[in-house]
Amino acid sequence: MTTQSITPTRKRIRRLLAGDGAAKALIFAAAFLSFLLSVTLWFAGDRERGLFVGIWVPSICSAGALLLVGRRHE
């Protein structure tokens, strides 16, 4: 990949997550919804899917942290 093909995507992400506060809120909301879905699936009796969706929570938080740190260093 060339840097020209990566740059427009980064610009779109930056526009989507305009401020750090909005970005943190979006990341927190996505992780919290994933957690709620995981708990719902677990107690509904679908434990394997509940565990699978529960794995998304740290993944979402990690991806969000990488995006936020990347924005600060640029």
| pTM of full prediction above 0.85 | no
Question: Residue ranges of the domains in the chain?
Answer: 3-73
- Distance between CA atoms of residues 3 and 40, nearest Å: 42
Q: For residue 61, what are its two tokens?
A: 């938080």
Strand, helix or coil for residue 44: coil
pLDDT tens, 16-70?
655 677 888 899 999 999 999 999 999 999 999 999 999 999 999 999 988 888 7
Radius of gyration of the chain (CA): 16
What was the pLDDT predicted at 33?
96
What was the pLDDT predicted at 50?
96
What was the pLDDT predicted at 28?
92
pLDDT tens, 7-24?
666 666 666 655 677 888
Angle, vertex CA 15, rays to CA 10 and CA 17, nearest 5: 95
DSSP label of 18? -
